[in-house]
Structure 1
């Protein structure tokens, strides 16, 4: 039996020249793949590893968070759809997911991939000029949302880099 949750990840080439939407879409796919690359070859136990006892920050909690980013920002806010959120237990003291949640890591991974596929299917946005109400930032537009999602991936891939290094010393760009 193979205990590895995420097998080999191939990161796509980024579009360096093209329309704004082509560049953004390719960068988003690159960041999605880079996050998964940080999780490649790990077991469920490793994905749940907490190097810092004061936090629930793990690679698995980041994966759960990023599926939420896909669904909230791209599907709900940008595409104005009603996404299907999974039920994960959260820590009542933080915004992070409770690592005692029994959902198997392979199911969390499958859910993450599904969230990304659903977001891709809604791309490109229908109107890049419409105001999008947001309770956190006020009115935004699609440009802000798309760059914010890349910001989320960039920030959390940095966290994933540190978490992975704490597991087995693997580092990367």
Structure 2
């Protein structure tokens, strides 16, 4: 069973300023993914949806660690952080080789990337921009909205995977 700290998901404010709203909504979706994984065994976290899909909860956690790193560290922070799980040879590596993947490491890495993202974002205004490798300039505001969309979409996947594993549904 994967050990995680108690998950606290708080409702998002309905009348806050823009930044508070964006940060709260992103944190809400981060907590939702953690809740979808809560209480499952390593084997269950590695359980794929329906063939031929390779989508698993563990793969989603690893993918979202990559996404946090990519948008906050590499784009906003102008770092050159190397991929965590994928490579040029395997662009979807976060979803592969899960039989030998360390579940505890994956969750720790995801939480670490979230913590780093929060620290980086706190040092920037919503209008500050970063450049993506290969082109394109993105504001922190855009990154927040994109990350909310990314988590919301994958939380829908996570909900279906969790329901298939043990029948648990919910928001």
Band the TM-score falls in, shorter-chain normalisation:
0.7 to 0.9
- Alpha-carbon distance change, 94 to 55 in structure 1, aligned in 2, over 3 angstroms: farther
Number of residues of Structure 1 aligned to a counterpart in Structure 2:
171
CA RMSD, Structure 1 to Structure 2 (Å) = 2.6
In 2, Cα distance between equivalents of 1:166 and 1:137? 39
**CA apart distance, 1:108:** 0.6
Query: How far apart are residue 127 of structure 1 and its match?
Result: 4.1
In structure 2, relative to structure 1, the CA distance for the partners of 1:39 and 1:80 (3 Å cut) is same
How far did residue 168 of structure 1 move?
0.5
Counterparts of 2:85 and 2:68 in 1: how far apart (Å)? Answer: 15
Q: Flag the 1:57–1:90 CA change in 2: closer, same or farther, 3 A.
A: farther
| Runs (5+) with no aligned partner, structure 2 | none
1:141–1:168 Cα change, 3 Å: same
Paired position in structure 2 for 1:46: 44
CA distance in 2 between partners of 1:122 and 1:169 (Å): 38
**Of the candidates 109, 123, 136, which is equivalent to residue 107 of structure 2?**
109
Query: What are the ranges of 5 or more consecutive residues in structure 1 without an aligned counterpart?
Result: none
Shift of 1:98: 0.5
Distance change >3 Å, CA 147–CA 125, structure 1 → 2: farther
More helix by share: 2
Deviation at 1:19, TM superposition (A): 2.1
Residue 57 (structure 1) aligns with: 55
Tell me how far apart the structure 2 counterparts of residues 101 and 90 of structure 1 sit (CA, whole Å). 21
